[in-house]
Structure 1
Amino acid sequence: MSKHTILGETAIQQLLLDLPDWKVIENKITAEFVFRTFADAIKFINNVATVAEEMNHHPEFCSSYNKVRFSYCTHDVGDKITDSDLKIAKQISELARNLNGKSGY
């Protein structure tokens, strides 16, 4: 039995109202953050890595200079968006704010 709860479209959209950095793109929740410097972007990636390891829930991500994009869906349940994705998204947004990251969308 999975420890993740698959979310329907309505639930996802409702929960994303509290996560303005995030949107659904290609069946994944995705956010992009822009930092003042490359070093801040790398600190952010490392901070997210710590949380992802603790939760055992790892993102797809791409970094280009001071921009970082994260995407989440849960592979264990067939690449669906779950409660675990939204939970870590909230933490990622908080980590970005701690380093003065701004939404890139």
Structure 2
Amino acid sequence: MTPAKLLTKIGQVFPDADPADIQRQLDGYAGPERLRVHLAILKLCDEDRRDSPLHYVDTACQDHRDVLMWAESPQQLRPDWFSLSVTDRAKVVKADRQQYARWLAR
């Protein structure tokens, strides 16, 4: 992922907002895997129809892995995950990857 892709996604998720303002809000998270986390936050905002990324920025500042998991692997958080067969788990992982790739590609 590139900073240009991040700007594209900001425009898609927040079409009526000032991109620089959204970027400033995202910059509230400056920890590990910064670009990846910023994209995950945008995906979560897109799904939740939030008007600001601040909720997820705050969460990422506490533990960035939470927003990564919610955005990139939501089905792996299923309550029945540990009762799934290895084959079914592999299908879920593949489906999660595909849904995230579709969101990134749009």
Q: Which has the higher contact order (CA 8 A, sep 6+)?
A: 1
In the superposition, the TM-score normalised over structure 1's length comes to: 0.32
**Structure with greater helix percent:** 2
Larger-gyration structure (1/2): 2
**Structure with greater strand percent:** 1
In the superposition, the TM-score normalised over structure 2's length comes to: 0.31
